[in-house]
């Protein structure tokens, strides 16, 4: 059985080796390490449950699973071998050194065909908590589907900033009324570690995708784990607060607990347009509903999150979206909605903290 | 959401400080004890839509939601004489409140019928507060006991209270149909071959375990009628109703799902289903209007590559 530390060492060697050569340690192809955060809902939240879900998914994707170590798996295809770490049975990490397009294709297919799997969805406040010194910032705001209209001053903006003070640029754009709504943080690049423990160049994006482009992978992995831990805390916090849970009282009656989540857009939007663009059952929202106009500029939708097949209710006004989660609905559903509204409607969209 | 349930949802919103609507009752210290609670009084039993309570000073509010202008005199008199001792005997007094806490009925009505409701209560000699609501509006007025203060909320955003409870066993079929469609689509997304109608009922109407046998039968009958309608209409060839028998519970057999399409064809298949169901539910469906899509520099293939991007 492969020790996890040995696996991390092999990935460090792979990062430092030019692509195209022999397998490093007979295990990993040389190249940058692409890591994908996957949120899993095994039938049983345990190592065995994770194993069962991983094996089912591998079969569906025509990948051959092989256990390398404790909660550490290799998934082999004709093109490449990917590695999945299920140490946390709900929040998995997939590592690969093959081409990013191929990794993305496999991940897309996995989450599209398996309702118990989703990627991570990091809102900008969380993404900006990536460890290290940030020196790269990418904004790729695209509101064609949800805003549209010729009267929108900015509905698609791409900015790539490389320099030592990306936060300053973000603050500058955020202070301008025209651009404030476009300051979605799509990716952050960071130098993590120090001279004592080693250094690594790490890029993280809002879909829970990471690239370790240079340096010590163990240092990068530590930064990834820390962000994943924060993401887990965030998702579990959403579930604890926003699931509307019903419990029978002793004898008669029913208690009801849980808040309604309120997402404030930070601006007024054309609700009809937003509703028309949101329920197309396609990426990234993958929401299905037959929305209903209940009043002037007020719409509701008893929707289904197609990623996981869970129901949720959405209530729209020009400035806010209220979300009512069912007792079974996953917090990742709300995280995905919030994150993608920041990327595709208005970057200022945020949860109201009552 | 069934408009009949707007008053109940208003009470639930007012007792939750979550920023989703006004929260004046939460601000006054009220918490939800229960919904659909049987309450004993010396005049008989009533089922309160919601029971709220607060401490120091202790007070229990028995909330009765009315979507129309008509109150029932007998029911109003039962509410009027309810007290803590009777609630305690029936096991419906919140454990935290004092054994002799005052108990007050609170009528929750739509604002346009407020005057009628107040007149009816006055005519029966019942003095009790009335809470009236509208879109972006809530007003609590009338004789309030110690611990309950009058308020008027009238400010944007102009929204209705959030729909925590969308239907009950008396809701019309059209309202129930929308939620059944949601359950069917969720089952399709999970590739479930069968949707048990009893399980769907318990998710659509969360007070299902508290419903009487006859109430459950009525609600299931509604779900079956909806399923039959959908199976012969917008979901023809997609679902089939198995009405059940003595030994087999009623269920929906799912024969086709857009989730079985390949990843490229899946969104179109789901969109098609939404359009058909929209027509069945009497809604306008369809895709967003075509717009001039703003081109990106990336569309011009300038040969730039960013290998560091994930």
Looking at the domain assignment, is residue A137 inside a domain? no
Calculate the alpha carbon distances from A45 to A53, A130, B243 in Å. Answer: 10, 27, 35
pLDDT of residue B254: 97
Interchain proximity B189–A256, CB inside 8 Å: no
Whether B206 shows a pLDDT value over 90: the answer reads no
Q: How high is the pLDDT of residue A280?
A: 93
Predicted local distance difference test score (pLDDT) of residue B306:
46
Judge whether residue B286 has pLDDT over 60.
no
Do B120 and B224 have their domain in common?
no
The CATH number linked to B247 is 3.30.1370
Question: What is the model's pLDDT at position A352?
Answer: 92
Q: Do B210 and A354 touch (CB under 8 A)?
A: no
* Residue pLDDT, tens place only, A174-224: 999 888 999 999 999 999 999 899 999 999 999 999 999 999 999 999 999
Q: Evaluate the CA torsion angle A100, A105, A110, A111 in order and state its sign.
A: positive
> Distance (Å) from the C-alpha of residue B243 to the closest C-alpha of chain A?
24
Q: Which two tokens stand for residue B301?
A: 């293939």
How much is the average pLDDT of A166-175?
89
Residue to substitute from A134, A302, A352, interface B, most B β-carbons within 10 A: A302
Distance, in Å, from the CA atom of B106 to the CA atom of B151, rounded to the nearest integer, reads: 14
Average pLDDT of every residue of chain B:
88
Quick check: is B268 in a domain? yes
Instruction: Specify the 3-state DSSP secondary structure of A38.
Output: strand
User: pLDDT grade, residue B25 (50/70/90)?
Assistant: very high
Residue where one domain finishes, among candidates A119, A144, A159: A119
The domain that holds A318 is classified in CATH as 3.30.310
> What's the structural domain count of chain A?
2
Domain finish residue from B154, B183, B205 = B154
Is B143 found in the same domain as B48?
Answer: yes
The mean pLDDT value for A37-55 works out to: 96
Question: A229 — phi, psi (to 5°)?
Answer: -60, -45
Residues A274-297: what's their mean pLDDT?
92
pLDDT score at B304? 44
Task: Give the domain extent around B51.
Answer: 3-154
Asked if residues B47 and B39 have their Cβ atoms less than 8 Å apart, the reply is yes
Domain annotation covers residue B302:
no
b/e per residue B114-148 (b: at least 16 CB within 10 A): beebbebbeeeebebbbbbbbebbbbbebebeebb
Q: Which pLDDT belongs to residue B52?
A: 95
Is B70 a member of any domain?
yes
Using the Cβ of A254 and the Cβ atoms of chain B, whether some distance falls under 8 Å is answered with: yes
Q: What is the pLDDT of residues A139-151, one digit of tens each?
A: 999 888 888 665 4
Regarding whether B177 and B147 lie in a shared domain, the answer is no
- Mean pLDDT on A260-268: 95
pLDDT tens by residue, B133-170:
999 999 999 999 999 999 999 988 789 999 999 999 88
The H-or-E segment that residue A242 falls in is helix A217-242
**Residue B60's beta-bridge partner residues?**
B53, B103
Is the domain of B115 the same as that of B220?
A: no
Among A141-150, A313-322, B55-64, B285-294, the minimum mean pLDDT is found in B285-294
pLDDT of residue B208: 86
The strand pair at B137-141 and A198-205 is best described as unpaired
Supply the pTM of this predicted model.
0.92
Of A82, A97, A119, the residue at which a domain comes to its end is A119
Disruptive mutation site among A200, A271, A304 for chain B (greatest number of B CBs within 10 Å): A304
Residue B91 within any structural domain of the chain: yes
Choose among B34, B270, B297: nearest Cβ to A306.
B270
Cβ contacts of B293 on chain A, cutoff 8 Å: 144
> Which residues, in sequence order, are CB contacts of A263 under 8 Å at separation 6+?
A320, A321, A322, A323, A337, A338, A341, A349, A350, A351, A352
Q: Residue B302 pLDDT more than 70?
A: no
Q: Do B188 and B225 sit in the same domain of this protein?
A: yes
What mean pLDDT comes out for the span B217-223? 92
Q: Is the same domain home to B143 and B240? A: no
Look at B286 and A281; give whichever has higher pLDDT: A281
Q: Give A296's pLDDT tier (boundaries 50, 70, 90).
A: confident
Chain B touched by A245 (CB under 8 Å):
no
User: Which of B33, B91, B293 is opposite residue A144, by nearest beta carbon?
Assistant: B293
Pair B148, B192 in one domain: no
* A296 vs B203, higher pLDDT: B203
Instruction: Report pLDDT for B90.
Output: 73
CATH number at residue A25: 3.30.310.80
Distance CA A244, CA A248 (A): 14
**DSSP codes of every residue in chain B:** --GGGHHHHHHHHHT--SSSS--HHHHTT-EEEEEEEEEEETTEEEEEEEEEEETTTTEEEEEEEESSSPPPHHHHHHHHH--HHHHHHTT-S-TTS-TT--EEEEEEEEGGGHHHHHHHHHHTT----EEEEETTEEEEES---TT---EEEE-SS--PPP-SS---TTS-HHHHHHHHHHHHHHHHHTT-SEEEHHHHHHHHSTTGGGS-HHHHHHHHHHHHHHHHHHHHTTTBTTEEEE---SSS--EEEE---GGGS-TTTHHHHHHHHHHHHHHHTT----PPPP--PPP-GGGG------TT--
- Could you tell me if B13 and B119 lie in one domain? yes
In a domain, B205, yes or no: yes
Is residue A347 in a domain? yes
Q: Of A119, A143, A160, which marks where a domain is finished?
A: A119
B78, B121: one domain: yes
- Which whole number is the average pLDDT over B287-299? 50
Statement to judge: residues B184 and B234 lie in one domain: yes
H or E segment to which residue A105 belongs: helix A100-113
**Across residues B169-187, what is the average pLDDT?**
94
Answer yes or no: is pLDDT of A131 > 70: yes
Q: Residue B288 pLDDT more than 50?
A: no
Count of domains for chain B: 2
Please tell me whether residues B136 and B199 are part of one structural domain: no
pLDDT of residue A173 exceeding 60, the answer is yes
Pull the structure tokens for residue A346: 């208005």
Host domain of residue A338: 253-351
Q: At a CB cut-off of 8 Å and minimum separation 6, what does B5 contact? A: B65, B67, B163, B165, B166, B167, B168, B171
Say whether both B142 and B177 belong to one domain.
no
pLDDT score of B305 more than 70: no
3-state secondary structure of A283: coil
Q: Which of A94-98, A113-117, B1-5, B208-212 has the lowest mean pLDDT?
A: B208-212
Chain B partners within 8 Å of A155 (Cβ) = 294
> CATH number of the domain that B27 lies in?
3.40.1350
Residue A85, domain member (yes or no) = yes
Share above pLDDT 90 across residues of chain A, in percent, rounded to a whole number:
76
Is position B293 within any domain?
no
Lowest average pLDDT, out of A129-143, A249-263, A328-342, B20-34, goes to: A249-263
> Is B18 in Cβ contact with A262 (below 8 Å)?
yes
Residue B292 above 70 pLDDT? no
Residue B219, in any domain of the structure: yes
Q: Which residue has the higher pLDDT, B284 or B131?
A: B131
């Amino acid at each position: 059985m492969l020790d996890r530390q040995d696996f991390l060492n092999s990935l460090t060697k792979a990062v430092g080796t030019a692509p195209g050569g022999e397998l490093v340690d007979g295990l990993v192809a040389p190249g940058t390490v692409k890591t994908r955060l996957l949120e899993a809902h095994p039938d049983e939240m345990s190592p065995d449950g994770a194993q069962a879900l991983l094996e089912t998914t591998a079969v569906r994707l025509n990948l051959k699973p092989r256990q390398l170590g404790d909660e550490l798996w290799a998934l082999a295809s004709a093109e490449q071998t990917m590695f999945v770490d299920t140490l946390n049975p709900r929040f998995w990490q997939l590592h690969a050194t093959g081409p990013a397009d191929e990794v993305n294709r496999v991940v897309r297919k996995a989450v599209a065909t398996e309702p118990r799997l989703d990627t991570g969805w990091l809102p900008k406040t969380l993404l900006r908590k990536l460890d290290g010194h940030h020196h790269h910032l990418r904004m790729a705001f695209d509101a064609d589907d949800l805003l549209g209209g010729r009267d929108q001053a900015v509905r698609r903006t791409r900015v790539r900033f490389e320099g030592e003070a990306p936060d300053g640029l973000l603050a500058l754009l955020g202070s301008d009324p025209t651009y404030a709504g476009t300051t979605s943080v799509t990716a952050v690049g960071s130098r993590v570690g120090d001279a004592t423990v080693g250094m690594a160049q790490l890029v993280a994006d809002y879909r829970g995708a990471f690239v370790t482009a240079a340096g010590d992978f163990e240092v990068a992995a530590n930064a990834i784990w820390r962000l994943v831990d924060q993401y887990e805390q965030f998702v579990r916090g959403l579930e604890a607060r926003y699931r509307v849970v019903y419990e029978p009282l002793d004898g008669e009656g029913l208690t009801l607990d849980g808040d309604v989540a309120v997402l404030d857009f930070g601006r007024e939007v054309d609700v009809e347009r937003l509703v028309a663009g949101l329920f197309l059952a396609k990426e990234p929202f993958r929401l299905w509903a037959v929305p209903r106009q209940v009043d002037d500029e007020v719409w509701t939708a008893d929707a289904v999150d197609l990623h996981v097949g869970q129901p949720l209710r959405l209530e729209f006004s020009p400035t806010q979206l209220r979300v009512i989660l069912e007792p079974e609905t996953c917090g990742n559903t709300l995280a995905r909605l919030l994150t993608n509204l920041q990327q595709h409607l208005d970057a200022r969209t945020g949860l109201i903290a009552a | 959401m069934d408009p009949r349930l707007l008053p109940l949802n208003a009470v639930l919103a007012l007792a939750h400080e979550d920023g989703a609507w006004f929260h004046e009752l939460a601000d006054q210290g009220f918490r939800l004890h229960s919904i659909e609670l049987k309450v004993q009084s010396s005049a008989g039993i009533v089922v309160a839509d919601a029971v709220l309570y607060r401490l120091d000073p202790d007070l229990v509010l028995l909330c009765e939601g009315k979507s129309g202008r008509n109150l029932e005199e007998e029911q109003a008199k039962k509410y009027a004489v309810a007290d803590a001792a009777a609630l305690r005997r029936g096991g419906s007094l919140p454990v935290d409140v004092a054994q002799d806490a005052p108990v007050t009925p609170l009528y929750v009505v739509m604002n346009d019928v407020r005057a009628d409701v107040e007149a009816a209560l006055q005519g029966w000699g019942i003095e009790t507060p009335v809470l009236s609501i509208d879109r972006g509006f809530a007003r609590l007025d009338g004789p309030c006991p110690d611990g309950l203060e009058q308020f008027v909320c009238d400010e944007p955003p102009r929204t209705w209270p959030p729909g925590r409870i969308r239907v009950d066993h008396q809701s019309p079929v059209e309202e129930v149909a929308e939620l059944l469609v949601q359950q069917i689509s969720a089952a399709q997304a999970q590739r479930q071959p069968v949707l048990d109608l009893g399980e769907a009922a318990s998710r659509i109407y969360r007070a299902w375990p508290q419903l009487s046998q006859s109430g459950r039968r009525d609600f299931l009958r509604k779900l079956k009628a909806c399923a039959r309608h959908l199976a012969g209409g917008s979901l023809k060839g997609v679902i089939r109703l198995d009405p059940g028998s003595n030994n087999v519970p009623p269920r929906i057999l799912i024969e086709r799902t857009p989730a079985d399409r390949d990843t490229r064809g899946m969104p179109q298949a789901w969109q098609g289903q939404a359009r058909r169901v929209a027509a069945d539910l009497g809604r306008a469906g369809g895709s967003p209007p075509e717009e001039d899509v703003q081109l990106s520099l990336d569309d011009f293939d300038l040969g730039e590559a960013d290998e560091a991007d994930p």
